[in-house]
Amino acid sequence: MQQRNRIHRLHAKGERQYQRLRSKLEPRYKGHILAIEVESGEYVLGKDELKVALKAVKKFPGRKFSFFRIGYPAVHKLRLQICLKVG
């Protein structure tokens, strides 16, 4: 439970930083991936999630990040396709 609270606090801190950056970034970078280093508020931008993550780890080794898709409520979408076999 303690680990979960720490993760929630980390994400909440990143969310506050994202809200401060949003108006600056959204007009030009809507749909891009944003990795925010939560302690400093510095960030990395890009179009590809993996590339952004690798770039962030290289730029801020050993740090923790919050990830966002600029202008959207979530980084990922989960799509389910249900196939029914009839007969």
Q: What is the mean pLDDT of the chain?
A: 88
Q: Sheet holding 33-37: strands in order across? A: 43-46, 33-37, 65-69
CA distances from 12 to 36, 47, 67, 79, 83 (A): 12, 23, 11, 26, 38
Tell me the pTM: 0.80
Three-state DSSP class for 54? Answer: helix
pLDDT in tens, 15-43: 999 999 999 999 999 999 999 999 999 99
How far apart are alpha carbons 57 and 52 in whole angstroms?
A: 9
Looking at the DSSP bridge assignments, the partners of residue 45 are 34
Q: What confidence score (pLDDT) does residue 85 get?
A: 64
